[in-house]
Structure 1
């Protein structure tokens, strides 16, 4: 069968370097003995190194040409080729509600959406590895005070330990992307409860980083209300990139208390 032609609208960049594919596949070994779900296998360059690992492997692929290629060249996968849009899948159905490792050479145009879906299913996904745009990987792994530190950093690091494994250059892809790539691994940390209202936590993180040049006092005013006494606290002189995950948790609890008090006084 002829090779699959990369499709720009699907964000496809097929990896050609087999050693890098092997290294990405081996990144799942940090979470042994559980199944693996690969997103966007394309022509199976990563799949070929996952299959010998003696654990269940399923692949999810939206591109019909890639699906046909996989069926012909990896007949052992059989029904484990899932022809669906990963972002629309019910992940509880993939391995009967059992936990699994998520991996892949992720399409750059939806990588952030993939990780938000991971967060929504964090109890099912103790480990996530794979290749993404280098800039996004740096964002996920960034620490407070770093210019790359942002929404993805806080929301993912609240639940996962992030490892930036290695950088991948453009020339090992067909077609070469215009940016460098990186391989990361995210492993569930010990946090089971944030210790605050998770919905409000997300709202505060997104609201403040969407106005990251402003101090917290200015960016949070739509939530807290202008002139609230709490806003006089020195913490509100800071910008969001200066706050750790735990400081965002503490800020959420203080805002929740302030909002509850305001509601009682209405």
Structure 2
């Protein structure tokens, strides 16, 4: 039995076991005893995760054909094969305590997966993910870069992020039209940003949705009294602000909104 890749699920199955092993070996935090794999497909990463007997492996898969395959080929997973949509489920129903996250993430939902990581950031100390190279570069980009954006700022506020290696399209079935990359996120020591996090998210999103505009123009819909914000911020564009500067801006806007 094999599983046919479904275009609507963004499935591209990794076929190179050496790369699969390299991805799994990129998990470094040996203190974490649970791992959740997103979109295991036919288990090319799963087989290496299961080799570590001190690690409890869970997999979440939306494709019923893949779920049946995993039950047949990896019976030791038992009820740790979770059939459902990672983007919608309450993970705390299945995992208790901290867990690492790993996966060959479907291209069409990779950004949404990272937004979920942010929701569970206090339970997820480490993430190793393979995704579209372009998105990987966006997440790891720093200020001043054309690829620096919403995910860069929000993820880097909570995680140290490393671009590990590039993966060629010919090691997938079917081959995608773009290259892939593997990145690692390691939770930093920040417990609180000291600002209204929902407001920060809104500011970052609104700024980058109009990234060519100066902050004075992109944020005036959010802050009617924008001119009460320190003028030194207002003539800048979003890609010119570091993560820490976005946090400082959020604190200042919070004061203006509640004045």
After TM superposition, is the score higher than 0.5?
yes
Alpha-carbon shift at residue 31 of structure 1 (Å): 4.6
The residue number in structure 2 matching 1:58 is 58
Cα separation, 2, equivalents of 1:81 and 1:260:
47
The 8 Å contact of residues 92 and 124 in structure 1, kept in 2 or not, is answered as: no
Supply the distance in 2 between the matched residues of 1:168 and 1:253 (Cα, whole angstroms): 40
CA distance in 2, matches of 1:76, 1:91: 21
Aligned equivalent of 1:221: 220
Per the TM alignment, residue 32 of structure 1 is displaced from its structure 2 partner at its CA by: 3.6
Distance change (3 Å), C-alpha of 1:207 and 1:31: farther
Alignment match, 1:239: 237
Q: Distance in 2 between matches of 1:206 and 1:255?
A: 15
Partners of 1:213 and 1:239 within 8 A in 2: yes
Matches within 5 A, 1:66-105: 66-96=66-96, 98-105=97-104
- Give me the whole-angstrom Cα distance separating, in 1, the residues matched to 2:32 and 2:51: 13
**Aligned equivalent of 2:43:** 44
Structure 2: gaps of 5 or more residues = none
Does the C-alpha gap of structure 1 residues 31 and 127 become closer, same or farther in structure 2, counting only changes over 3 Å? farther
Counterpart of 1:250 in structure 2 is 248
User: What is the rounded CA distance, in whole Å, between the counterparts of 1:101 and 1:133 in structure 2?
Assistant: 20
Matched, 1:19 2:15: no
User: Quick check: 1:151 aligned with 2:134?
Assistant: no
Report the TM-score, using the length of structure 2 for normalisation: 0.97
Cα distance, 1:94 vs. partner? 1.8
Query: How many pairs were matched up?
Result: 258
Q: Report the more deviating stretch, 145-154 or 62-71.
A: 62-71
Task: Tell me how far apart the structure 2 counterparts of residues 124 and 242 of structure 1 sit (CA, whole Å).
Answer: 31
TM-score using structure 1 length: 0.94
Counterpart in the other structure of 1:230: 229
> Which residue matches 1:115?
114
Matched, 1:177 2:195: no
Aligned with 1:82: secondary structure?
Answer: strand
Give 5+ residue unaligned stretches, structure 1: 262-266
CA distance in 1, matches of 2:125, 2:32: 12
Mapped to 2, the partners of 1:217 and 1:235 lie a distance apart of: 8
RMSD: 1.2
